[in-house]
Every structure is written in C-alpha cells, then in structure tokens.
Structure 1
Amino acid sequence: MATATSMFYWGYAIVLSKFVIFFIDTGIAKSFGVLIPTMVKRLDTNYATVGLICSMPSTLMYLLSPLVKLFLTETNTRVVAISGGLLCGTCIAACAFFTNVVAIGVSLTLSGLGLSMSFIPIHLALNDFFPEKYVLMNTICLYGYTAGSMLLPILMEKSLEAYGYYGAFLILGGVAYNSMACATTLRKVPTRSTSNEAQDHITSNDRKCVSRAKPLPEETPLFRQIQVEDEEEEHEEGVPEQSGLIQSKKCRIKEREIPLELQSTCIRTFFQACKGSCGLFREPFFASTIPIQFLQAYTSYSWMLFLVPHTEQLGIPSSKAVYLSTIGGIGGIIGRTVFVVFLGKGVNAFAVYIPVGCVCTATFLLDFVSSDYRSRVVLAFLQGFSFFIEDTMLSTLCKEAVFDDMNTATALTTVAFWTGMGATAAGIFTGYLFDITQSFTKVFIILGITHAFKVGHLFIVAIILFKRKR
C-alpha cells in the first residue's frame, strides 16, 4: 500500500515534467516568431521556407509520436527520453553556427525528433498515473504552454539584442536541454501481472461465448451430449491448465458441435477482438474528430509563429511587438484558470469551448479594424485567452469521444500526430500565404475563416455526445 501511495504522489512529478516540456515546445515556437525576420535576412530566403524549418521542432514532436510509441515497447523509456533531450538541445544550439537553409532545416528536424522522444513517454505516463483525472491534470500541464509563450519570446528578444544571433540560438538550446531533467522523472506504474490479465481475458471470452448463446431445449440429444462433456470437465478441475490452451480447445470443440446460428455469436466476438487490436478502427466517432485536431493545431501554431512579424509589419517596433506574446500568455493564464474552475464545478467542457471558439474567430475576422498598439494588445489578449482554453480540447476528445478505455493510449498518439500535421501546415502554408498576399492582415482573416470551420465541426460533435449521454 505504501508503494502504491508513493507512486501516486510521484505522478505529480510527471505533471511538472510535462509542464516543462510544454514550456520548451511553445517557448521554442514563440521564440522563432522573434527570430524569423532575422533568419529571412540572414539566410536570404522567403517566409514560407523559414516558417517551415522553424515549425520542425514542434511539428515532429507530435508527428513522430506513433513511431516513438512503438519504439517504446522494446526499449527503456527513460533512456529514450533522456537521449531525446540531449539530441534536441544539441541540434538547436548547433543552428547558431550554420548559415545554410538546408543545414538548419536538418538540425531543427533532428531537434524535433529528440523532443518527441522526450515528450511521448511523459505524455503516456501522465495518463497511466491519472487515468480518471487526465483532463484536469493535462490542463494543469498546459500552463507550461502559457508560461513558455510569455517568457521565452522576451528572453530571445533581449538575447538577440545583447548577444546577437549566435547567442540567442545557444541560449535557446540551453533551454531545450532541460527536457533531459524531465526525462529522469519517468517511473513505471505498478500493474497486475501479464499472466493474470491474459487469464482474465481468456475467462471473460469463454464466459461471453457461452452466455451469449441461446439455451438449448433439455430434451435434445445435443443438450445431453454437452451435459455429459460438462460432467467430464468437472473431474478435470484438479489438473493444472497451461496458459488457457485446454479451455480454448474445449471452446473450439463445442463450437463445432453447436448449430450455425449459435456459432455466429462467437464468430462475431472473434472479429470484434481482431478489430480491437487495431485500436481506433473501433472508434469511428473519434476518427471523425481528426479535422478538429488538425485545424486546432494549424490555427494556434500560425498565431504563435506569426503574431510578432504581423505586428512589426503594421509599423510597431520589435521591442514593443514582442510583448504581445506576453500579453497573450497572460490572457492564456486567466483563460486556463477559468476553465479549471469550470471543470471543478462540473461544467461540461464543450459548453466552454463553443463560445470561446466564437470569440477567437471574431478576433481574427476583425483583424483589419485597427493597427494601433492598443487594439493589437486587446486582440492578442483575447486570442491568448481563447487558444489556451481550446488547446485542452484535444485531451477532452481523447476521453469523451473514445468509448473503450483500452484505445485511449492510441487516441493520445493519434491526436499528437495530427497536431504535428497542423503545426507543419502552420509553418509552410501560412508563410506561403504571406509570400503571395504580402499582408499578414489578410493571412489572419483567412485563419479566422479556418477557425470558424473548426468551431462548427466541434459544435456538431458536442451535440452528438450530448445526445449519447442522454
């Protein structure tokens, strides 16, 4: 009991570690918002290319999650996570010495691989430690997103002024090295032995095979034959059975003797088990929410990468523009705290997401209204308030839209994959839109239209879930 209790409290160390990983991830993305104009000039390239390579760390942290999850089944998770932190920090620091777009792109790609190797073990460990309170604990971890978006852009701005381009990248690499410390907190949650679980699974399947069959009339020869076999089995109870093989054999013998209309139930059970091994094939409703997962990442990462360049294009100095990230972070802290309070009061999460999403959509569609600094402060605050509530939406979908808890881990890595795809699109497609339009105002209005589609889809999902609960 003492061991189980201590392991439960150790789960809060996992919460802190995931907080730091999120701090690093978002901090890197927002820091590139400060560095992108300098990188475009230094590398003599366009915004689409720089936006793509700068999105690589966050993109691949999520995009490679299914691959990393498979790799973890054969390897020590702590070793993988520590190695990933070392790779991430080294590659980001190495960017300070490269002057070629391809070299920096490869380096940032490898840093994304390293960040994924650190993130996924901690991401899955949180669900293992808090299976019933995952949404709440993950929401607390997401404060790391807010803190990173507030602090690291200012740190990069001051580092760029004090130490130049080289120093800024070296400091950013040093921040990424902290993921190694997070990896050392990984522990395994004590569970029942595999053999017991396998035996329970076999027993439950045998029970289903028998209980779902229609009862046979007692006067039939088939009933008398099965009754005789049951009596013979009672004499064999004292004989130890190995790994349930005898039980499985008996079940197969009975299936051959039971009429076809009774065998169909067991056949359906078999195919359902095969589908269950494929994870989300049994979760079509969750699969229908993939566009929400993609668009959530696309709009939020586009905002993080291009908020500061957009403000600078409006004629606001970089020294003032960088503080919009901090203001957005403050709005995020307030928004996330309000959301946690609502969760504690038992308010349905979707009842919060829909109105907040409408507010966020309006802030993008009204981007053309004014270009003065006060207006940008208000818009940045509301966008931060909204986005840092909406980013909890993905963990909520993993719990609410997945109806079999056995598929939760697969759902978590699926969400991470599509988040990576959205972050990739945010870097390259949003940068490409700016290269075509030469106006971040038009780009942000397009983001508002995209965000509106996501909110509409989410509204449909919320209605379906509400009807199912009723």
Structure 2
Amino acid sequence: MEILISNVISGFGLGMISLVTTVDLGETFGDQFGIVFSISTLISSVAMMLMPLLLDYWLRVYGLSWAVALLGALMWNNVPCGLMLFENYTSIWRCDDPNRRILPNQDLGLPGTSSQANDECPAPNQSPKGRNILLAHPSLTFAILTRLFNSVILFAWAIYLVPFGVSKGYSPSTAVFLSTSGGAGIFVGRTICIFVYHFQLMHSLPINVGGVVASLCMMVAFNIAESFSSLCTLSFVAGALVAYLGSWMQAYTIYVVCKKHFKTAVALSNSITGAGIVAAGIISGLVHDIRGSYNDVFIFLSLSAACQVLCIIPTILLIKSSKCDL
C-alpha cells in the first residue's frame, strides 16, 4: 500500500510539472512552441535512457535505501528550476493583440489560420458567451482521444517488451535489449518531431497518418518475427513511431485551440494522458490473463493504433472550423 501511495504522489507531481511547463512554453515561445517543446521531450528521453543505468549503479554501490534517497535528492532540482521559471515568467501576449490566436502559420493558408477565425477569438478579459471549449474547438475532442490511444500504446508496449522477449525463449538479461532498442527509437522519434515542426509540416495528414499506420504494422509484426535481431529492429522502429506521434500530439495542442482556451486544453490533454497510462497496464494485463499470450497484447495495441488513425484525421481537418466564440 505504501508503494502504491508513493507512486500516486510521484505521478501527481510529475503530471503537475508537465502541465505547468507546457503552458509556460506555449505562452513564452508562441509560434516556436512546437520546436521548443519537441526539444524538451528529446532531452527528457535522454534522461529516461540514462536513469536506469544510474539507478543500477547506485543500487550496486550504495544499496537500495541510499539509491532511493539519491533519486529523491536528484528530483529536488525541480524546486529551484520551478522558482527560476516563476521568477522569469513572461507572456508574449501581454504586449500583443489580445485577439490573436496561437497559430504560428497565419500567413501560410494552413487549416485554422484564417483571419476570420482570428477575429472571432475574444480578448481574455471578456466573458465567454459562446460555446464551451470542446464545442468551440471540435478538433480538440479528437486530439484528446489521440493522446489517450497513444499513451495506451506507448506504456503498454514498454511494459511488455521484456516479458514478451522472455516468452519468445530469450533470457531476461537478453530480452532487456528490446527495451534498450525501444529507448533508442524513442530518441529518434522525438528528434524527427523537431524537424517536422521546423519545416512547418505539423499539419500534414500523410506524415502523421502514415506514421500511425506504420506503427500498427510494427505491432502486428511482433507476432511474426522470431529472430532477436528482428525483434530489436521492430522495437526500435515502433519506439520511434509511437514517440514521434506522442510528441507531435503534445506540441500540436497549441494549434488546435485559441489562446483563451490553451491552458484548459493542456490540462485536459495531460489528464487524458494520465488516464491512458493507468488504462495501459490494466487493459493489456487483462488481455494477457484472458488470452494467455503476449502476442495478443500486441494485437490489442495494433487495434489501438487503428483507433488512433481514426482520431488523427479529424484532429487536423477540423481545425479550420474551430472558433473561440460564436
């Protein structure tokens, strides 16, 4: 019970950090948010790859109690970083047109960038008299569902990579390299996301739908491949695709809604991501217990990827119909 409570508390803290920093990046960098946010996720993926090695070293040298204590001490860097963030907080919208939508490509004729849409977004100090956020921005509903399916796929895939390798007949010490390959793929996928936003390709349906379809194929291929090198390759590619789509969707929130609704949209998106993380282990675990095979878990993930395809298409296409106030 103590472990469960501590995990809930730590998860709550990490979720709040993600929420606050995402909002601050959006309001500070504006039209560069996609690039900056993608860089931040890339840095975090490096930390995720290094942390297991660091914890293993601390465990062997200092023991479990001191390893946990050192991890807690390392996490305290969030306190001074948070104070610095608060101290230097600035909003690019304070000296800008209060009616401006947070859409960096307003002059490029991309979805949701028409001047008419900009004119319909009221100033922050005006009381909203139109529809709520989900009705005003229909694309947000599908964006949130995309995040839900992506978090289910990413976390269930990460949880079951090693036991899946063991079920294929490999030792745990060998199967762990499936996770290492996936971590390297995550790093590559988040790197790709930086270039997608840099070259203004974030609204491209072929790129994003193609990525989901490819990840669906990777999940199905896990059931076919037998050699360890093939499984590592599939793990790398799947990690790259799923991580790219996760980073793209997080950064894409700022393009989906107007400035007035941005904070609420980030909160909704992060909450749904948390729900997906919770559901990932429960649902995939039930699939394994009922079916008795890890292969069926990856079939379930491929079905989740198919649902993600159906959510990404309206997420992009419905941006042009988003309005802050009607």
TM-score, normalised via structure 2 length:
0.77
Task: Determine whether 1:337 maps to 2:184.
Answer: no
Residue identity matched to 2:223: F
Superposition deviation, residue 323 in structure 1: 2.9
Determine which of 431, 434, 437 is the counterpart of 2:288. Answer: 434
Give % identity: 23
Residue identity matched to 2:245: E
What is the match of residue 72 of structure 2? 173
Structure of higher CA gyration radius: 1
Would you say the 8 A contact 2:146–2:311 is kept in 1? yes
Structure richer in helix, relative to its length: 1
What is the match of residue 371 of structure 1? 226
**Separation (CA, whole Å) in 1 of partners of 2:236 and 2:5:** 34
Task: Determine whether 1:294 maps to 2:195.
Answer: no
Per-residue CA deviation, residues 57-94 of structure 1 (Å, 9 max, x unaligned), is xxxxxxxxxxxxxxxxxxxxxxxxxxxxxxxxxxxxxx
Task: Provide the secondary structure at the position in 2 that maps to 1:342.
Answer: helix
Q: 336-345 vs 441-450, which deviates more?
A: 336-345
Determine which of 306, 309, 315 is the counterpart of 2:163. Answer: 309
Would you say the 8 A contact 1:327–1:381 is kept in 2? yes
Residue identity matched to 1:129: T
Would you say the 8 A contact 1:157–1:319 is kept in 2? no
Would you say the 8 A contact 1:135–1:392 is kept in 2? no
Give the 3 Å change call, closer, same or farther, for CA 322–437 of structure 1 in structure 2.
Answer: same
**Separation (CA, whole Å) in 2 of partners of 1:340 and 1:285:** 22
Larger RCO (CA under 8 A, 6+ residues apart): 2
Q: 377-386 vs 147-156, which deviates more?
A: 147-156
**Separation (CA, whole Å) in 2 of partners of 1:103 and 1:371:** 40
Residue identity matched to 2:175: A
Superposition deviation, residue 177 in structure 1: 3.1
**Separation (CA, whole Å) in 2 of partners of 1:448 and 1:128:** 36
Residue identity matched to 1:140: I
Per-residue CA deviation, residues 344-366 of structure 1 (Å, 9 max, x unaligned), is 23334433211111111111011
Superposition deviation, residue 439 in structure 1: 2.0
Structure 1 segment 55-454 matched on structure 2, within 5 A: 102-157=1-56, 166=65, 169-186=68-85, 187-189=88-90, 273-275=128-130, 278-350=132-204, 351-402=206-257, 404-454=258-308
**Separation (CA, whole Å) in 2 of partners of 1:175 and 1:433:** 37
Would you say the 8 A contact 2:152–2:277 is kept in 1? yes
RMSD: 3.1
**Separation (CA, whole Å) in 1 of partners of 2:77 and 2:138:** 38
**Separation (CA, whole Å) in 2 of partners of 1:338 and 1:318:** 31
Q: Which runs of 5+ in 2 are unaligned?
A: 100-125
Give the 3 Å change call, closer, same or farther, for CA 347–120 of structure 1 in structure 2.
Answer: closer
**Separation (CA, whole Å) in 2 of partners of 1:445 and 1:125:** 38
Give the 3 Å change call, closer, same or farther, for CA 173–324 of structure 1 in structure 2.
Answer: farther
Task: Provide the secondary structure at the position in 2 that maps to 1:346.
Answer: coil
**Separation (CA, whole Å) in 2 of partners of 1:332 and 1:193:** 36
| Number of residues of Structure 1 aligned to a counterpart in Structure 2 | 292
Superposition deviation, residue 281 in structure 1: 4.3
**Separation (CA, whole Å) in 2 of partners of 1:154 and 1:378:** 22
Give the 3 Å change call, closer, same or farther, for CA 172–434 of structure 1 in structure 2.
Answer: farther
Give the 3 Å change call, closer, same or farther, for CA 452–149 of structure 1 in structure 2.
Answer: farther
Would you say the 8 A contact 1:150–1:327 is kept in 2? no
Give the 3 Å change call, closer, same or farther, for CA 344–178 of structure 1 in structure 2.
Answer: same
Q: Which runs of 5+ in 1 are unaligned?
A: 1-101, 202-270
Superposition deviation, residue 168 in structure 1: 5.3
Give the 3 Å change call, closer, same or farther, for CA 190–425 of structure 1 in structure 2.
Answer: closer
Superposition deviation, residue 400 in structure 1: 2.9
Would you say the 8 A contact 1:146–1:332 is kept in 2? yes
